[in-house]
Amino acid sequence: MTERTYHHGNLRAALLERAWDVVDAKGSDALSLRQLARDVGVSHGASARHFRDKQALLDALAVEGFERLNGSLAEAVTGEHPFADRFRAAGDAYVSFAVRHPAILRTMYTAKHHAAASTELVEVSHVAMPALVALITAAQDAGELPAGSAEEAAVVAFAAVHGVATLATDDLLNGFPWQHATAVTITSVWRGLASAGSSQPAP
């Protein structure tokens, strides 16, 4: 399959795969379209047929990142385990992804900022939150969490986990291994959610 034909066959996939590795290893700043073309064995203008921009390539990379992350999260959440365990598993999966692919995670969340992000990117980046809302709602229905706004609870939980993830990739966990920091955070958040009910937060 290494024969050099005029048409590559599936350049798009090859570019994405190589770009993933480069970004994952050296960060998105180190990604060069021309070098990428050389790596894949194609001329420097070829990528334009599949990705208008460099930003478009990064967007596609971000989409792939979200898809993989969403997959891990979905896998962690499904099952018959107690809600607290599934909750914990989801957090672990999130932080684990962040620690393994920090540069990709960064690319995922910076790609959205470039004004005209593809609708696909926006959609795939919003998948996790409703899933978390559903999990919390189910826990509330089962009586493991007190009734209340599941949306608010989901934002709190998501923020905490996302925070640990980014802190872990930035060496700001004060020396704690990320597994420990994640466990402690999730436990604390779960406790905070479980003990809600007395009063609304004062504005």
Partner DNA sequence: AGCCAATGTAGACACTGACAGCATTGTTGT
Partner DNA sequence: ACAACAATGCTGTCAGTGTCTACATTGGCT
By CB under 7 A, name the binding residues for DNA: 5-9, 11, 31-35, 37, 42-46, 48-50, 52-55
Report the distance separating Cα 117 and Cα 11, nearest Å.
22
Binding residue for a second copy, selected from 56, 112, 137, 138, defined by CB under 8 A: 112
Of 1-9, 10-18, 74-82, 107-115: span binding a second copy (CB under 8 A):
107-115
Supply φ then ψ for residue 127, to 5 degrees: -75, -40
Number of Cβ within 10 Å of residue 101's Cβ equals: 19
- Closest by alpha carbon to 50, among 65, 64, 33? 33
Binding pattern for the stretch 10-49 against a second copy, x by CB under 8 A and - elsewhere = -----------------x----------------------
Distances from the Cα of 29 to the Cα of 37, 59, 73, angstroms: 16, 14, 28
Rounded least distance, CB 109 to a second copy, Å: 5
CB-CB neighbours of 63 under 10 Å: 21
If binding is defined by CB under 8 A, does position 66 make contact with a second copy?
A: no
Q: Which is nearer to a second copy, 14 or 176 (CB)?
A: 176
